[in-house]
Structure 1
Amino acid sequence: MRERLLRCFLVLPFLLWVSVAGAGEETYVVKKVFDGDTVVLHNGEKVRLVGVSAPEIKDEQGKNKKEARFAHLDPKIVDRYAKKAKKFVEKEVEGKKVRLEFDRANALNAHKDKYNRTLAYVYRVPDGFFLNAEVIKQGYGFAYKSYRFPYRHSGDFKRYEKEASRNKRGMWGEGG
């Protein structure tokens, strides 16, 4: 009897772990790409890529100019890359299946930003293409640096931005 009880206590945590691990495997289809760091899922949910700051298509607040200054880029190049970033994201995920992964840094606000977009890491299914990272690696966006708390991939994303700059990819390849 004791042995059975012990076996239950050993197996139960494993079964719980398996069920929780599989819970995050729900997939969605990207219906539309809003811009280089925001997609809309088939259910209408807007998803903002955690850790990515892509140039704004309609930059009414001067964000592109500010990003350009910090990155030592011509603001005109950054403005041009707003549409290029959107096209890159469309090519990679529009009409395709993705899975979302959430970051503990956003748990206090239920993984939502001030515009009520879901904050997530986006992975294409089945190949695991990590959209957030690739937007930065290919020079279509910047590592987002204004989070109140460090997010899981912040160090990697900053490194990817430096590598894109050093290797003249994307925005940095056009005179930056």
Structure 2
Amino acid sequence: MKKFYSLLIFLFIINITYSQTTLTAKVVGIKDGDTVVVLDSLNNQITLRLAEVDTPEKSQPFGTKAKQFTSDQIYLKTIKYVVTDTDRYGRSIAMVYYDEDSKYLSAEIIKAGMGWHYKRYSSSKELATFEDNARKNKIGLWVDNNPIEPHLFRK
């Protein structure tokens, strides 16, 4: 039983360490506004779901524009990312940084009105403010009087 608890503690420490490690990769694909494919240093393709943001589905208004925005920001660039979790599809949820680490992709998407601050999974006051500003100024998808959040659209 002691070995079992030791193993659990070891796995917990590995998980915490991994989730806080900054990794580097090249963006080789954009699936949609909040999902990208990267190539790591071992030439493994990894799908990353962006943390703290939810963008319109491809078939929703602004879905194509959100995908294009993400592509314009990071496609074929080397990025840094921190894995924060794994979603139910096995994708790594990650905070993605680019342009010499000065830009946080999820924040840029929200500021540009190309997505929602995913409040269900994030309590960031800064991201909430960016969304409020985009709404007030009718930037991006906020030109629509009643944009439908992707998780509601999928139902």
TM-score normalised to structure 1 length: 0.64
Aligned AA (2:104): F
| 1:80 counterpart = 2:80 | no
Aligned AA (1:28): A
What is the CA–CA distance in structure 2 between the aligned matches of 1:135 and 1:45, rounded to whole Å?
Answer: 21
Structure 2 gap segments, 5+ residues each = 1-16, 147-155
Percent sequence identity is 35
Structure 2 counterpart of 1:172: 142
Aligned length: 124
What is the CA–CA distance in structure 1 between the aligned matches of 2:61 and 2:50, rounded to whole Å?
Answer: 20
Does the 8 Å CA contact 1:55/1:81 hold for their aligned counterparts? Answer: yes
Any idea what SS the aligned residue of 1:45 has?
strand
| CA distances 1:59-100 after superposition (whole Å, capped 9, x unpaired) | xxxxxxxxxxxxxxxxxxxx2200000000001101001000
Structure 2 counterpart of 1:159: 129
Does the 8 Å CA contact 2:26/2:78 hold for their aligned counterparts? Answer: yes
Does the 8 Å CA contact 2:26/2:77 hold for their aligned counterparts? Answer: yes
What is the CA–CA distance in structure 2 between the aligned matches of 1:99 and 1:155, rounded to whole Å?
Answer: 23
Structure 2 counterpart of 1:47: 48
Q: Please state which structure has a larger fraction of its residues in strand.
A: 2
Does the 8 Å CA contact 1:99/1:125 hold for their aligned counterparts? Answer: no
TM-score normalised to structure 2 length: 0.72
RMSD across aligned positions (CA): 2.0
Does the 8 Å CA contact 2:113/2:142 hold for their aligned counterparts? Answer: yes
Any idea what SS the aligned residue of 1:57 has?
coil
Structure possessing the higher relative contact order (Cα contacts under 8 Å, 6 or more residues apart): 1
After TM superposition, give the deviation of residue 57 of structure 1 in Å. Answer: 1.1
Q: Please state which structure has a larger fraction of its residues in helix.
A: 1
What is the CA–CA distance in structure 2 between the aligned matches of 1:131 and 1:116, rounded to whole Å?
Answer: 21
Any idea what SS the aligned residue of 1:26 has?
strand
Structure 1 counterpart of 2:93: 119
Aligned AA (2:115): G
Aligned AA (2:89): Y
